[in-house]
Amino acid sequence: MTNHEGHQLRESKPRFFYGYVVVMAAFIIQVVMFGPRMSFGVFFKPLLNEFGWTRALISGAFSFSSLMEGLCGILIGGLNDRLGPRVVMTLCGFLVGLGYLLMSQVNSAWQLYLFYVVIIGIGMGGCYVPLMTTVARWFIKRRSVITGLVVAGGSIGAIIVPPIVNWLIFTYGWRNAYLIMGAFVLVIIMAAAQFLRRDQAQMGQVAYGGSKGGEQRLDLGTEGLSLKEAAYTRQLWMVITMSFCFGFCAFTIAVHIVPHATDLGISAATAANILAVRGAVSLVGGIVLGGVADRIGIRQAYIISFILMAASLFWLLTAREVWMLYICTSILAFGGGGTATLASPVIAELFGIRSHGLILGVMGFGFTVGAAAGPFIAGYIFDTSGSYQLAFLISAAVGIVGLILAAILRPIKN
């Protein structure tokens, strides 16, 4: 064998695809960021009992934190396009962990809002956009299902963390629970962030399903649209509104299902388990509907997701038994898992990857506005009426709006 033939043989030998390391690191970060986030409802009653605050005040902290997350998500998405996810996620992990550590010292409402809204809210701005846009750059083929696998990390966090947090609160008190959770979050996220890379060029590789000539499957090519160009399309405003609807429906339930369940006479432990089951089903929904999107199209998968969410919210109006609450929240979580998975692929499909992080950040802001509005409105409605019925009805109507927009969404015409 000549030296030239040996060189060709070595060149033809496939190298390990680093994109899988990126996916694993992103998955771990999703677990550690979303698990504590979805545990806010478990801390709801302990804060309510200790300080005597209104439900609107407590849920308002979550709402404004979500709003802060969305605003910072736009900036962080742009920074990710420039600096890469390793730097961005290291900083975000530090802020989120610090915020939970400080939550153990809360003694007044202004501290609740400073620690949870400002510090944790800014850090949580990196929980979705940098990770999803990085995955979108590494994968062309099977983009939706791979995104679903990463999003599943958040669902796994929602499965395992709320029951653990409930046990920590019961055993050590809510302050020590925040202290333990904060230390864990800070260390794990900052460590996992060191394995992230912005795109395949940094590792001398090409995207999965791509070629050295660039990404061929997108009509918009690797350049795509800038945010300014995308802003002139109705499709951007449609997906932002769809994202708002998703956030409104999903987080109204995430924040208030535990206090709603305990109001019905269900134990706190069982109510926390409802959140855990919700996370498990969301995991399945993200992977299944991500695979469905790769087969039948993203728009059709969106339609399925919103049908499931709206139907579950209408049923929740009459649900009084534990098994009904489990089924209602599970149906909503399955649809919501799919919707969370589809956000990054729909941006890549409609607008390309030139400004993927920035545009996804804007879409994510729509989500966080909904995630902020839903829980706060639900808390206010309960404080004034003593019931969640109107809040659940409004959420169902918002889900119908998302379904209509998904049904009429079409690709951008040249």
User: Mean pLDDT in the chain?
Assistant: 84
Structure tokens at 334: 């399955």
60-64, 102-106, 149-153: which is most confident: 102-106
Tens-place pLDDT, residues 29-86: 999 998 898 888 888 889 988 998 888 888 888 888 878 888 888 888 778 877 888 9
State the Cα–Cα distance between residues 194 and 56, nearest whole angstrom. Answer: 39
Q: Is the pLDDT of residue 329 over 70?
A: yes
The tens digit of pLDDT for each residue in 228-260 reads: 888 899 999 999 999 999 999 988 888 888 888
Task: Tell me the DSSP string of 53-91.
Answer: --HHHHHHHHHHHHHHHHHHHHHHHHHHHHH-HHHHHHH
Identify the structural domains of the chain with CATH numbers, from first to last: 18-199+221-408 (1.20.1250.20)
pLDDT band per the 50, 70, 90 thresholds, residue 396: very high
**Whole-angstrom distance, CA of residue 352 vs CA of residue 360:** 11
Measured distance CA(62)–CA(59) in Å, rounded: 5
- Cα gap 38→51, rounded to integer Å: 21
Q: State residue 203's pLDDT score.
A: 65
- Measured in degrees and rounded to the nearest 5, phi and psi for residue 208 equal -60, 125
Helices 322-351 & 268-296 angle (0-180, nearest 10) = 30
